[in-house]
Structure 1
Amino acid sequence: MERLASFGNDPFDKPPCRGCSSYLTEPYIKCAECGPSPFLLCLQCFTRGFEYKKHESDHRYEIMTSDFPVLEPGWTAQEEMSLLEAVMDCGFGNWQDVAYQMRTKTKEECESHYMKNFINNPLFSSTLLSLRKTKDSRFAEGAIPFKPTDDPPRPSFDSVLSRDMAGYMPARADFMEEFDNYAEWDLKDIDFVDDDSDILRALKLSVLHTHSSLLLLPVLERCYPKEVQELYDVMRRFARVIGPIEHDKFIESHALEFELRREIRRLQEYRKAGIKSFCSAKVYERVKRMREDERRKRTMLCDVLQYIQDDSKLPASTGRRSAPPLNLTGLPGTEKLNEREKELCQVVRLVPGAYLEYKQALLNECRRQGGLRLAQARALIKIDVNKTRKIYDFLIKEGHITKA
């Protein structure tokens, strides 16, 4: 048997067991003769002597585990990887959080081990020095070092440097990161093999369909109330600064605050009405809706009756705006009108020449018949009936014509 290390302490980083399709936990078995893809088995399937196609139970095998020291006794390889991942997640110096994430070491042990083996270790110091020299030589070959006060480098579109710096934002001196940068995380370990059961194959296909739907379907914005939607639109510009997850949490917290305030106002209304139980509140809401419907119908009926009784208010119901008075400056025939006739032409919006013709026609008809009715005037001049009525009433008032 050969004892090898697998530097991935996350079971999701390894392919599943070929026997039972469960996630592998260390230690597990790797067949040394089957290949090129690794044939991995959990201990339970290995003890049962699982065989499949070319794999037989008497093949040579390797025990995959990381339960052995690397840098010093008492620290296994798995704990070394856990320490590096915890420092990367929590940040250098946050030893309390690092120890909480590791679960197996105290913060003093984490700090002393990291400082001793990864900071003050001469082996790692020389490695960092070589990396720094390599970085300086890369700058000398054509990269563009710049200070924060300098104008950031903006390579040309078709240059080699632009391809190497794909996704780089010069103004922010940082690389662009996707909103869900680990969207394909659940797909990287999916492997379709011939011995998959129907249920396992259907499960893998469902994961692929879910991922495809996330890529193809448009992202629908949440339906917030009006007040929260206004805040959402205003704060949209800051989403790139604080990050999408923090921005969603901020908006969701304000939406929750709005709902709580509305619920408090509703409960205050119940208490003001003397309601102390939710059963009574349901009856109150039902009666309140009926009362509002009756008030709305009663208001609508009163408006209809008011317009029926007062005919002068009917034109106002159409919602049309009254036209501004007509400007008579420079129109022919204006000098033949007196002040009252000018005011009539301005209000009725009738040019002076047409008014004089209508006036003369009504005067002639009134002399011929000895009087004139409104219906006769409307039949005589073919214009708007409201304008004809105003002209007829004006001429009666001025004494130019008489009623029949």
Structure 2
Amino acid sequence: NLRLRCTDCPDIELCPECFSAGAEIGNHRRWHGYQQVDGGLFSLWGPEAEGGWTSREEQSLLDAIEQYGFGNWEDMAAHVGASRTPQEVMEHYVTMYIHGNLGKACIPDNIPNRVTDHTCPSGGPLSPSLTTPLPPLDVTLAEQQQLGYMPLRDDYEIEYDQDAEKLISGLSVNYDDEDVEIELKRAHVDMYVRKLRERQRRKNIARDYNLV
């Protein structure tokens, strides 16, 4: 028979009925940890459930759905154990936890649509037409070079914030650096990364709107 052993009190085992009622004996309290003495071989859904899933497999299945997410059946099957295939894991979870009594009690039949359309007709402040690419400019190769754009390299002769590299060009990591020195160097690297992101953002704008 199934017994539940307290992990905090020596020699305390309870039957499922006493455990579910929150029985307390001596120093044992209902919030103490516990483990299944039979190894979790009983079924949560009764003998009528298909597949003969044990409580230990059910616990591994719930751990897997939390860790890997719905739909990653191969990873979930590997987590449950070699005895279960991805197809079995999917069918059991969908049948018992979604379409079963548990799913019917927890998942509402009708989920309201909370998405609101904030766009407006063409020309407004949120109009989709404002994000569409502009027509390409009629700029010759010589004119592009005059603008500082190098088309063969897809790069610019003078970058945005041209001196940004000076922030990190003189940095070095020494074993005897103090904490304040390390934090200062990290701040320099962070400022440099921000400048690189802004540089790339401007390049993307130029490409998206065919400015070069």
The higher radius of gyration belongs to 1
1 or 2 for the larger relative contact order (CA 8 Å, sep ≥6)?
A: 2
Using the size of structure 2 for normalisation, the TM-score is 0.40
Using the size of structure 1 for normalisation, the TM-score is 0.23
> Is the helix fraction higher in 1 or 2?
1
